[in-house]
Structure 1
Amino acid sequence: MNAQKPMNRWWVVFGAILIQLCLGAIYAWSVFTPALMAEGWSKLQTQLVFAVGLASFAAVMLVAGRKLNDWGPRRLAMAGGIILGAGYLIAGLSGGTGFWPVLLGVGLVGGAGIGLGYVVPIAVGMNWFPDHKGLITGLAVAGFGFGAMAWVKLAGAWGELIATIGLAHTFVVYGVLFAALVLVGSLWMRMPPAGWRPAGYQPPSARAGAGGEEFTAGEMLRTPQFYLIFLTFAVSAGAGLMSIGLMKLYPMEALLAHGYGAAQASAIAGTAMAVFFSIANGIGRIVWGVVSDRLGRKYSVMAMAASQGVILLAFTAMAGNEYLLYLGAALIGFNFGGNFALFPALTADEFGNRAVGRNYPYLFLSYGAGGILFPILGGVLGDMGNFPLAFSICGVACLAGAAALSLVSPPRREEAHRPFSVHGFFHQLHLLEPQESAAEGR
């Protein structure tokens, strides 16, 4: 064991939350959309910036997973903060209202900065807290959800930055803040000394589904379990991402149709997104993480995806009433936040604790896929005047995702090296071996 005294591991949690508060800026995008639409943007254009940001986030995170060991977590986080800040500066210094500069700055460059930084707190946190994977992953990414509320309110009702200094200067202020705060949080982003472990903790055995059997990325990509988890993450996260992009626009329309005034509808919809959705988003990350440490990752994901599907189907009847809207926004946010605590921990369980930094970015590509498909679907159907259909499609997709996840059983490394066949696909899922299904549910 390394003779150097390790730092207090809770400083890692503090640094992780500080970083994620800034990376969660992408979820504050909806606060800018009304002002941009007043400048002539279409609903589809507002969703394209959001979708490009999500896709860039997911794609660059794959690079970050590969570079984590080479660059080190601290340098990777610092690079992410600087690039995220630069993206918002590009949007602001170009005037703040041009579609292409904002798409480039906030979407492409800003998303890349988020992708570089995002994997760091998760990988570092799991190495410092192998005894509480669900809890620590939830805490590490909670800032991502809570950050949306802070940035929405700072730009809107509380700070009134957009109304006071305009879009361009708001983008500039955010760019500077993001870079500075991430650089501070990165100070605690380092792995524990070699051989360190928490008091009383015993590493898991090299057993399928326990996190002790380490898969390479190539081995993981040859398992059917990966693709079923990928599908579930894509629809569950994608549905939530579409909801984020539309949580201001759709409720405003629904409230106006139910007799609310324009100013009142705007305030209610803004509160639904900035307060109820955002707070529940952060809380859901922690609560679902704790639940999964007890219930098991598989059954927690199934419960989360299935309940999200039901809520999304009901949301079209809730959006036109102030208090039902608040309830619906909170429930959608709560379940959406759970994705980011459950899927990293599920990846660690199924494909190895120590390998999660390089393996999770491959699964996270599903977030990018869902982030492209569902927000664009919402924008297209919104321009056609049919937001309810978009939410209904997402609800059905989440129910299908829960069904897909029910087929997942712990993979085995040796099976990943066998040639592909239909029989082998079902054999790897252990659907042909019901007597071995007791290992499921971890």
Structure 2
Amino acid sequence: MTAAQIAPIAHDYKIANEPVSMLGVQMAALTFAISLDRIFDGFGRPFFGWVSDNIGREHTMFIAFGTAALMLLTLSVYGHNPIVFVLATAVYFGVFGEIYSLFPATSGDTFGVKFATTNNGMLYTAKGTASLLVPLASIVAAKYGWQAVFVIAVALNATAALLAVFVIKPMRRAFILGGEAPVAATAQDARTA
């Protein structure tokens, strides 16, 4: 949603052309935000892959979706400040692309390599499905303002963060352990035979 809506949000907040100076560089707020967004998005994907390899997929999803919710909340409350707008969108985009490293890894960890391409293809369709939210967000923004859009987006990200830890993690664990139980039993039978 934010990638497609960042320009309309900046224009509606009347900060798109406000000058922002950081790190010895001055640009219009929208230009600065879009520039940093690409950099943070690019670094965020491998970074969150590395994080998930160290602390686990679901915990990393919790951090990423929780951070996204926090940055969207920050944008809704303080986004009229050009510097906050630039920094909050940069951090948001830093966690925006984590799904491209976490979801395929989670799928592979859970289901193995058989049908990995099909599974990842199904996961990637979420991006196309999510693109349907862009016109919906525009309709909500036109009728109720960006605040309503942010409330919905914050709620969805917070829900995703909680689902990662409290639903996906135990569900995956049960699935994986359930699949290992017959293998362990077969190994035990082979040893006793």
In the alignment, structure 1 residue 276 sits paired with structure 2 residue 36:
yes
The CA distance in 1 between the partners of 2:89 and 2:125, in whole Å, is 25
- The 8 Å contact of residues 291 and 300 in structure 1, kept in 2 or not, is answered as yes
Return the letter of the residue paired with 2:32. T
Equivalent position to 1:382, from 141, 145, 151: 141
* TM-score where L is the length of structure 1: 0.35
* Amino-acid identity (%): 21
1:305 equivalent to 2:46? Answer: no
| Secondary structure, counterpart of 1:248 in structure 2 | helix
Q: Distance in 1 between matches of 2:178 and 2:45?
A: 33
Superposition deviation, residue 413 in structure 1: 9.4
Counterpart amino acid of residue 81 in structure 2: N
Report how far residue 244 of structure 1 moved: 0.5
Question: Contact conserved, 1:309 with 1:396, CA < 8 A, in 2?
Answer: yes
Is contact 1:288-1:341 (8 Å) kept?
A: yes
Looking at structure 1, the residues matched to 127 and 18 of structure 2 have their Cα atoms a distance apart, in angstroms, of: 34
Match of 1:437 in 2: none
User: Which secondary structure does the structure 1 equivalent of 2:77 belong to?
Assistant: coil
Distance in 2 of aligned mates of 1:246 and 1:318: 17
Distance 1:300 1:276 in 2: 22
The answer for the alignment partner of 2:154 in structure 1 is: 395
Question: 1:386 corresponds to which letter in structure 2?
Answer: G
- Relative distance call for 1:268 and 1:385 in structure 2 (3 A) is farther
Corresponding residue for residue 248 of structure 1: 7
Shift of 1:281: 0.6
1:322 aligns with: 82
- Say which is worse superposed, 298-307 or 403-412, in terms of deviation: 403-412
The residue correspondences of 1:281-292 to structure 2 (distance < 5 A) are 281-292=41-52
The separation in 2 between residues aligned to 1:337 and 1:263, in whole angstroms, is 26
CA shift in 2, pair 1:394/1:263, >3 Å? closer
- SS for the counterpart of 1:320 is coil
Q: Supply the distance in 2 between the matched residues of 1:412 and 1:327 (Cα, whole angstroms).
A: 40
Q: Equivalents in 2 of 1:389, 1:336: separation in Å?
A: 20
- Which AA in structure 2 matches 1:333? F
Residue aligning to 1:436? none
- What is the deviation of 1:385? 5.7
**Aligned-partner residue type, residue 162 of structure 2:** A
1:355: which partner in 2?
A: 115
Residues 315 and 264 (structure 1 numbering): CA distance in 2 closer, same or farther, change over 3 Å? closer
- Partner Cα distance (2:18, 2:86) in 1: 14
Asked whether the 8 Å contact 1:283–1:337 carries over to 2, the reply is no
User: 2:153 and 2:92 mapped to 1: Cα distance?
Assistant: 12
Match of 2:164 in 1: 405
Measured after TM superposition, the shift of residue 288 of structure 1 is: 0.4
User: Cα deviations across residues 331-370 of structure 1 (Å, max 9, x unaligned)?
Assistant: 1100101111111111111111353212111222333222
Unmatched runs of 5 consecutive residues or more in structure 2:
20-26, 180-193
Letter of the structure 1 residue corresponding to residue 74 of structure 2 = A
- SS of 1:247's equivalent? helix
Query: Residues of 2 paired with 1:365 and 1:319: CA distance?
Result: 31
Cα shift at 1:250? 0.5
Deviations 1:42-79 (A, max 9, x none): xxxxxxxxxxxxxxxxxxxxxxxxxxxxxxxxxxxxxx
Q: Distance in 1 between matches of 2:75 and 2:148?
A: 11
Counterpart mapping for 1:35-434 below 5 A:
242-254=1-13, 256=14, 263-264=17-18, 267-273=28-34, 275-372=35-132, 374-384=133-143, 386-406=145-165, 407-408=167-168, 409-410=172-173, 411-412=175-176
User: 2: distance between equivalents of 1:383 and 1:403?
Assistant: 30
Take 2:102 and 2:32, find their aligned partners in 1: how far apart are those partners?
27
Aligned residues: 167
Question: Which consecutive unaligned segments of at least 5 residues does structure 1 have?
Answer: 1-241, 416-442
**Which string of whole-angstrom CA distances, capped at 9 and with x for unpartnered residues, describes residues 272-327 of structure 1?**
12x11111111100110111111111211121112211221221123211211111
Change (3 A) 1:281 1:378: same
Q: Is the 8 A contact 1:280 1:337 kept in 2?
A: no
* Higher relative helix content: 2
RMSD after superposition: 2.3
SS in 2 for 1:304: helix
TM-score (norm 2): 0.77
Distance (whole Å) between structure 2 residues aligned to residue 382 and residue 394 of structure 1: 12
Query: Contact 2:33/2:85 (CA < 8 Å) preserved in 1?
Result: yes
Query: Which residue matches 2:191?
Result: none
Q: For the Cα contact (< 8 Å) 1:272–1:329, is it kept in 2?
A: yes
Higher share of residues assigned strand: 2
